Chain A
Amino acid sequence: MNSKTSDPTVPLAPHERLRGWGGMSAPGREIRSEDLRAVTEGAVLSRGLGRSYGDASLPPPGVTEVVGTSLADRMLAFDPATGVLRAEAGLSLAALARAFLPQGWFTPVSTGTWFVTLGGMVASDVHGKNHHVAGTIGRHLRSLVVRLPSGEIVTCSRDQHPELFFACQGGMGLFGHILEVELALEKIPSPWVWQESYQCPDLDSLLDTLEASASWPMTACWIDTLATGGSFGRGLAMRGRWAERREAPPRMPAPGLSPTVPFDAPSWTLNDLSMKAFNFVWYHKQLREAAIGPVTPHAWFTPLDAVKHWSRAYGKRGFTQHQAVIPREAGRDKVRGFLEILSRRGGTGFLCVVKDCGPQGEGLLSFPRPGTSVALDLPVNDGIQDLIDELNRYVIDVGGRIYLTKDGYTRREHFEAMEAERLPAFHAARDRWDPERRLRSAMSVRLFGDPVGPATTTGAGR
């Protein structure tokens, strides 16, 4: 039975707004149901747990309803011989981890939060700390069941409708509603992670350590964005691998406390002073220069999940993230130059994560490519558009690109300049699968010039 109770003809009440993770919002309501086949019929967009930062999961202006997939979360089949799991698109990584860590399996690609859905992971073609060896989630997919913009439901894979299969990876929900995901899990020797973490006093030593760790299956760096002068770019370089059973504590790892930030904090809570304190404490949290040993997978993959709704700590105006990859061939100085933009502007960066990326994924607009990825959390203030514009001009100059699922502010012309090579194929695929642009989001209106308003049956085109 379908529990859909809403109706697009009922006007929205003022409280009905949908939010991206950073706080960007738009009028709209979510239709949630266990029955994705029923609710996606005629729908303009699906969203998962809304962990994309900007407007990727928000409806285009004039559209009131978006499908919320998180109740459709059944595991449909699992083969313990191969590790292949088939599940509904709303299954969260948190639920997957809870069920499978004790059984010796885990997702082959883990994001920095487990409050994401399989559908959202595919639609953003996500990467994790193992990107340099494991690639994006797309590499581990076996098949998808998708409701096409035409309404038809099809299964796609490397052999069946491969163009659709790859278009959905990083397709930001625009090629169809993903109903089911078939994914090969990774066999793990224990549910603990062996971590080595090193304090690096400046940018060069940090990037050296990252490079020297490339043979490790998982790596990432955190940079103290407020350190200047000789300490510019100092931070922690972290590398890890699944712990062997003999190295692991003889019990199941438990997540830390899960306090929650109940409402938007006043905007003074995260001022420059508190950011300085945060960065200082994080950098010095290891009093020894290196911290080596087993840690819980929660602490390793998702240190921020310990505080539910931490994004509210940024206050009412919220925040955004700018994640860009600086191509390897551009050289290390370009990474330094990128970070210098921030410090020149008074160092408003709060969290800065750096990661080396491996080969590009197969999705039409998949984000990672060989080079250095830099992700910056930025509080929203009057200068945010200028700052993003400046960062984007720099990214264009060095031949890099940005990650759509983190974005809410990039200008269309900047995006077109970064993606001049790949966009024609992306538009051609949309012309083929969705000539009328029935599937749209606030992001697709902003970046691809999609029409606003409810879906029409006459070709709205671009």
Chain B
Amino acid sequence: MRVAVLGATRGMGREVARRLAERGDTLVVLARDAGAGEAMATDLRIRGARDTAFVPCDLADPTTFAPALDAATAFLHQLDAVVVTAGLFGTQEQLEDDLDLCARVLDVDFTKTILFCEHARTRLLERGGGTLVVFSSVAGDRGRKTTGLYGATKAGLSHYLESLDHKFRSAGLVTITVKPGFIRTGMTAGLKEAPFAADADDVAPLVVKAMDRAAPVVYTPRIWQLVMLVIRYLPRFVMRRVGF
């Protein structure tokens, strides 16, 4: 496959890109920092990618989206899939206390991510379809005390991604929504671990498998699918009482 990944410089994006590299895929690292982007392209090449390149792209700056995806397509000759793991995080307290940070998280994780997906979607559809993989979160499945603001962006994002999948699947575009639980990446460093905490290494194989099978929704680790099934149907008065 020929894949462009936004977010491969760290965390889960790094591991997904590596799994693809190990099976010999051709990869473009879309990243805002040239040093980190180039280093990651090298890492992926050593691990077995057929070829790799770094292309600048800043999720906070939509003027970079079109040139980045055009350059990626030119390098790959053909764009088969786009993976988006880039995102920002803040705890509920941090976001409540700092409205500037809150505005940035809401903007990047929701508006900018969707704009980027729109650019990716049109390019994939132009060539007759492909796969768009975007990282949302279990935090978007239900309004919770502890992740209300960040979770709201993910709720909106999941909603958008589901609609894409309904609308364009028949045109050949597969949209995959990934919903991780608590994953031990830099994003969660220093936070108290939630139940079923896992590593990026545990998430990546599930995402690659979903890409191969065109599965529309992936919970990682898998247990979250069951947990969220229950949580989604919990009555409000129960949700209000539990600290979850």
Beta-carbon contact of B189 and A6 below 8 Å: yes
Query: With A15-B192, A76-B39, A98-B22 in contact, do A71 and B46 touch (Cβ < 8 Å)?
Result: no
- A32: chain B residues within 8 A (beta carbon): 184, 186, 189
Query: With A34-B10, A75-B42 in contact, do A4 and B189 touch (Cβ < 8 Å)?
Result: yes
Query: With A74-B43, A98-B22 in contact, do A6 and B190 touch (Cβ < 8 Å)?
Result: yes
Q: Does A33 contact B (CB under 8 A)?
A: yes
Query: With A13-B192, A98-B22, A99-B48 in contact, do A76 and B186 touch (Cβ < 8 Å)?
Result: no
Q: Please, how many angstroms separate the alpha-carbon atoms of A312 and B16 in the complex? A: 29
Query: With A3-B187, A76-B39 in contact, do A99 and B192 touch (Cβ < 8 Å)?
Result: no
Which size class do A's interface residues fall under?
Answer: 20 to 34
Q: Which of A3, A4, A13, A76 has the most CB of B within 10 A?
A: A3
Query: With A5-B189, A33-B186 in contact, do A74 and B39 touch (Cβ < 8 Å)?
Result: yes
Interface residues of chain A: helix, strand, loop or mixed (majority): mixed
- B18: chain A residues within 8 A (beta carbon): 95, 99
Q: Does B185 contact A (CB under 8 A)?
A: yes
Beta-carbon contact of A74 and B184 below 8 Å: no
- B192: chain A residues within 8 A (beta carbon): 13, 15
Q: Please, how many angstroms separate the alpha-carbon atoms of A99 and B44 in the complex? A: 10
Chain A 9-27 interface mask (CB, 8 Å, partner B; 1/0): 0000101000000000000
Which size class do B's interface residues fall under?
Answer: 20 to 34
Query: With A76-B39, A76-B43 in contact, do A102 and B189 touch (Cβ < 8 Å)?
Result: no
- A13: chain B residues within 8 A (beta carbon): 192
Q: Does B167 contact A (CB under 8 A)?
A: no
Beta-carbon contact of A31 and B190 below 8 Å: yes
Q: Please, how many angstroms separate the alpha-carbon atoms of A78 and B43 in the complex? A: 9
- A33: chain B residues within 8 A (beta carbon): 186, 189
Within 8 A of B (CB), among A68-89: 71, 74-78, 85
- B185: chain A residues within 8 A (beta carbon): 71
Q: Does B40 contact A (CB under 8 A)?
A: yes
Query: With A32-B186, A98-B22 in contact, do A5 and B39 touch (Cβ < 8 Å)?
Result: no
Q: Does A103 contact B (CB under 8 A)?
A: yes
Nearest CB of B to A142, in Å? 16
Nearest CB of B to A79, in Å? 10
Q: Does A127 contact B (CB under 8 A)?
A: no
Beta-carbon contact of B186 and A102 below 8 Å: no
Q: Please, how many angstroms separate the alpha-carbon atoms of A405 and B13 in the complex? A: 33
Contact sample, A vs B, 24 pairs, CB 8 Å cutoff: A3-B186, A4-B189, A5-B190, A15-B192, A32-B189, A33-B186, A34-B9, A34-B186, A71-B10, A71-B185, A74-B39, A74-B42, A74-B43, A75-B43, A75-B46, A76-B39, A76-B42, A78-B46, A85-B46, A95-B18, A99-B22, A99-B46, A99-B47, A102-B48
Please name the 6 residue pairs, one residue from A and one from B, whose CB atoms are nearest each other, closest first. A3-B186, A6-B190, A5-B190, A99-B47, A75-B46, A78-B46
